[in-house]
Amino acid sequence: MQTLFLPLSNLLRNQEGFKRLFTHLKCLHTRSGIWTVNTTSTPWVSRSALVSRRREVPVGQLPAGNMCTSSSVDKTSWLWSVYNETKQHTQDLIPVISKNFVNPDTIFANNQMSLQDIEIYGFDYDYTLAFYSSHLHTLIFNIARDILINEHRYPEGLREYDYIPNFVIRGLHYDVQKALLMKIDAFHYIQLGTVYRGLNPVPEKEVIAMYEGSHVPLEIMSDFYGKSSHGHTMKQFMDIFSLPEMTLLLCVNDYFMKHNIDYEPVHLYKDVKEAIGDVHVRGIMYRAVEADNEKYICYGEQTHAVLRKLSKNGKKMFLITNSPFDFVPFRRVTDKGVLLWDRIHHLEKGQIYKQGNLYEFLRLTGWRGSKVLYFGDHIYSDLADLTLKHGWRTGAIIPELRKEIKIMNTEEYVHTMTWLQALTGLLEQMQVHQDPASQTVIQQWINEREEMRLRTKDIFNAQFGSLFRTYHNPTYFTRRLSRFADIYMASLSCLLNYDLQHTFYPRRTPLQHESPIWPEQTSTGAMNIPFRSHSTTTRPE
């Protein structure tokens, strides 16, 4: 017997919630039969056994006369009764869904990977081994702003601008020629409402007029690694250090617009980029961090615990970073920091080497393929080449993940998202009713859905929303993350929760054409399952 697809089934994560939903649903009457619900107590039966019907007509395609009388008033009342019942059933499910909160210390898998196969662990330094406080972003912003004023002759009035924490998020695109900062999804569509010129949003109609819609053509997007070279006008900011750079771009644009100063956006972008680069290249940032480690560096003890764990288990480790060797807290090249010029035939344990390149590193070590796992925070420069060209396994460090998961675990988010999904399913089914009375009701639902979509965006960031989603679609950032990282996590300390024999399995989420009611797999430990860091088992109990 064929299946009745109900969109609310997408919301259910376990058998209990599934059964509760269909037990509560009232039957929909047709002229020659009744939709029936199978109340079998079978633990997990097939879709056709759970829900059956006597007529082979999809519910969304039933003629209006089959569901209610021809009266507009009755039709409107019927639609609202379905709406109210759906909302009540959704609210009944929230306590069940709320129990399945996600553990922020989980390691999430895009690709199956076993730590048992890993012999060598490699690390980037910044935002991988070393985490920085928000004070560092303020420092970078202030120094770069002053460089613009003192060396590039920008207006003194820019000193009025201070760094604005949490105004921007990582993964945004900047249109160099139009001086616009925006969020783009995995399909190259701009998320309207997230386009900023200066510190103010650009009206949606203006954005659509500039881009002749909301789609960004491939030819103006950044290249494969997010750079705006070779005629590309879009620069993607993937580095955590880019947060003060984006904020400075917005502030300078804001000042010029407020004071009606005519300027060339391309020159502005290049000047800000150069000023930010000088903060790093000249060593200004590193000297400030060295002078006050406690103010700028976080998570030191947890990082050391991870390294001790790997060392105790006989794993080889290495560090590759573009930070100066005297800044990284390991051994210097020599006691006086002098580079040795003898030819290198092999790399020695405990030594530090400067210059060189990845290919030379691979030649000297022979470390190729899936026995190497490398961790970094920059999806392009840290991970892309390693996985695509050399077959290393890769782990992305995404510090923003912990904050976003905590938000997703809140009652407000669970309630809003559950009803948003249910209402979307209701719209999908009821859009077939094209009479004026029905369309008036449906338009009200559309308006409510749009309000909730905006609310879910603002929960994460009032300007740009979540790092990982543009409403329902993945962001361009998420698309690259899923391609270049086998696993990803909030911090390296998440490794402390796993045995080094552990296998990470990616969640099998249904494709659009596959069944929406498979029992959903979850990442190990993600759904409120306690970890056993010293356990020998590779699966949760």
Q: Which sequence positions are flagged as catalytic?
A: 124, 126
> 490 to each of 103, 128, 403, 406, how far by Cα in Å?
11, 10, 9, 12
The CA-to-CA distance between both ends of the chain, in Å, stands at 36
**What does the angle CA 386 – CA 391 – CA 397 come to, to the nearest 5 degrees?**
50
What secondary structure does DSSP assign to 334-346, as a single string? STT-PPP-SPPSS
Pick left, alpha or beta for residue 263 (phi over 0 → left; psi -120 to 50 → alpha; otherwise beta): beta
Element (H, E) at 470: strand 469-470
| 126 annotated ligand binder | yes
Cβ atoms within 10 Å, residue 212: 8
**What does the angle CA 118 – CA 120 – CA 124 come to, to the nearest 5 degrees?**
115
> 492 to each of 2, 136, 255, 316, 501, how far by Cα in Å?
48, 20, 39, 16, 17
Cβ neighbours of residue 330 under 8 Å, at least 6 residues apart? Answer: 319, 352
> Two tokens at 193?
């409402």
Query: Does residue 388 contact residue 133 with C-beta atoms inside 8 Å?
Result: no
State the binding site.
124, 126, 377
